[in-house]
Structure 1
Amino acid sequence: MYKSKVLVVEDDAAISNLIRTTLETQEYQYHTAQNGSGALMEVVSYHPDVVILDLGLPDMDGVDIIKKIRSFSTMPIIVVSARTEDQDKVDALDAGADDYLTKPFSIDEFLARLRVALRRSHTEGAKPGEESSVYVNGNLKIDYAAGCVYVDSAEVHLTPIEYKLLCLLAQNTGKVLTHNYILKEVWGSTLASDIPSLRVFMATLRKKIEKSTSSPQYIQTHIGVGYRMIRQ
Structure 2
Amino acid sequence: MSKILIIEDELNISNLLKLHLEREGYQVAQVFDGLAAMDSFLKLMPDLVILDLMLPGKNGLDICKEIREKYDTYILMLTAKQEELDKILGLELGADDYVIKPFSIRELLSRVKVLLRRPHLNKSEKEAEEQPLSSGELELRPSQMEVRLGGRRLLLTSLEFDILYFLMRNKGIVFKREQLLEKIWGDDSYVYDRSIDRIISQLRKKIESNPASPKKIVTIWGVGYKFDENS
TM-score by length of 2: 0.62
Deviations 1:53-75 (A, max 9, x none): 01111101111111111110111
Unpaired segments ≥5 residues, structure 1: 136-143, 148-157, 173-180, 191-197, 220-232
Superposed, 1:217-228 pairs within 5 Å as none
Once the two structures are TM-superposed, the CA of residue 128 in structure 1 deviates from its matched residue by 1.9
8 Å CA contact retained: 1:55, 1:61: yes
Percent identity reads: 32
C-alpha separation between the residues in 1 aligned to 2:212 and 2:137?
Answer: 11
The residue aligned with 1:128 is 123
The residue aligned with 1:88 is 84
8 Å CA contact retained: 2:52, 2:78: yes
Deviations 1:80-134 (A, max 9, x none): 12x232x2111111121111111111111011100111123xx3x4342244836
C-alpha separation between the residues in 2 aligned to 1:73 and 1:49?
Answer: 10
The residue aligned with 2:137 is 161
Unpaired segments ≥5 residues, structure 2: 154-205
8 Å CA contact retained: 2:220, 2:226: no
C-alpha separation between the residues in 1 aligned to 2:67 and 2:96?
Answer: 12
Once the two structures are TM-superposed, the CA of residue 211 in structure 1 deviates from its matched residue by 1.3
The residue aligned with 1:22 is 20
Superposed, 1:24-173 pairs within 5 Å as 24-81=22-79, 83-85=80-82, 87-94=83-90, 95-120=93-118, 123=119, 125-131=120-126, 133=128, 159-162=135-138, 164=139, 167-168=140-141, 172=145
Once the two structures are TM-superposed, the CA of residue 207 in structure 1 deviates from its matched residue by 2.6
Once the two structures are TM-superposed, the CA of residue 159 in structure 1 deviates from its matched residue by 3.8
8 Å CA contact retained: 1:161, 1:201: no
Q: What value does the CA root-mean-square deviation take over the aligned residues?
A: 3.6
Q: Which 10-residue stretch deviates more, 202-211 or 50-59?
A: 202-211
1:210 and 2:230 correspond: no
8 Å CA contact retained: 2:208, 2:216: no
Once the two structures are TM-superposed, the CA of residue 209 in structure 1 deviates from its matched residue by 3.4
Cα gap change, 1:104/1:170 in structure 2, threshold over 3 Å: closer, same or farther? farther
C-alpha separation between the residues in 1 aligned to 2:226 and 2:112?
Answer: 18
Question: Match of 2:137, SS?
Answer: helix
Cα gap change, 1:202/1:49 in structure 2, threshold over 3 Å: closer, same or farther? farther
C-alpha separation between the residues in 2 aligned to 1:4 and 1:23?
Answer: 10
Cα gap change, 1:218/1:67 in structure 2, threshold over 3 Å: closer, same or farther? farther
Once the two structures are TM-superposed, the CA of residue 188 in structure 1 deviates from its matched residue by 4.5
Once the two structures are TM-superposed, the CA of residue 37 in structure 1 deviates from its matched residue by 2.5
8 Å CA contact retained: 1:6, 1:28: yes
